[in-house]
């Protein structure tokens, strides 16, 4: 069963416009959410995270929004740049359950193409 779902396998956005990547989750015990970016032939790199006590976190061009009632989060990239073309993974973790040493659970990823 998929606890973290990214329902869009790919997304194309014009350079300079806003990119919105979506993620849904099923486990109400998740209390940290993360976004990773992955280029081909490289490992994922951490982009931004948000705690469940917040509904928004911003870092430069990247903003993550969390809607706990809908169990939904989204990553906004404004403005989109060619270097943003990559696979983006949504991930979640039940940090407060300290007896469980796991683990960040990853979605399947969304491939973002920034068009010139």
Partner 1 sequence: NAGVTQTPKFRILKIGQSMTLQCAQDMNHNYMYWYRQDPGMGLKLIYYSVGAGITDKGEVPNGYNVSRSTTEDFPLRLELAAPSQTSVYFCASSYSKGHGVAYGYTFGSGTRLTVV
User: Which residues of this protein are in contact with partner 1, per CB under 8 A?
Assistant: 4, 9, 32, 34, 36, 41-47, 49, 51, 89, 93, 95, 98, 101-109
- For 26-109, strand residue ranges (E) read 32-38, 45-51, 56-59, 62-67, 72-77, 86-93, 105-106
**CB nearer to partner 1: pick between 43 and 60:** 43
The two tokens of residue 81 are 């740049």
**CB nearer to partner 1: pick between 1 and 116:** 1
Asked if residues 65 and 49 have their Cβ atoms less than 8 Å apart, the reply is: no
How many residues does the structure list for the chain? Answer: 116
**Cβ of residue 84: shortest distance to partner 1, in angstroms?**
18
**CB nearer to partner 1: pick between 15 and 97:** 97
Helix ranges restricted to H, 8-75: none
**Cβ of residue 73: shortest distance to partner 1, in angstroms?**
14
**CB nearer to partner 1: pick between 29 and 79:** 29
**Cβ of residue 26: shortest distance to partner 1, in angstroms?**
14
The two tokens of residue 16 are 């300079």
């Amino acid at each position: 069963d998929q606890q973290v779902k990214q329902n869009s396998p790919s997304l194309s956005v014009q350079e300079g416009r806003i990119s919105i990547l979506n993620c849904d989750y099923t486990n109400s015990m998740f209390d940290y959410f993360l976004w990773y970016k992955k280029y081909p032939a490289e490992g994922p790199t951490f982009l931004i995270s948000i705690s469940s006590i917040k509904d928004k976190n911003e870092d430069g061009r990247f903003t993550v929004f969390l809607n706990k009632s809908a169990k939904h989060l989204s990553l906004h990239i404004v403005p989109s740049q060619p270097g943003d073309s990559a696979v983006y993974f949504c991930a979640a973790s039940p940090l407060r359950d300290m007896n469980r040493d796991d683990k960040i659970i990853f979605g399947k990823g969304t491939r973002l193409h920034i068009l010139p």
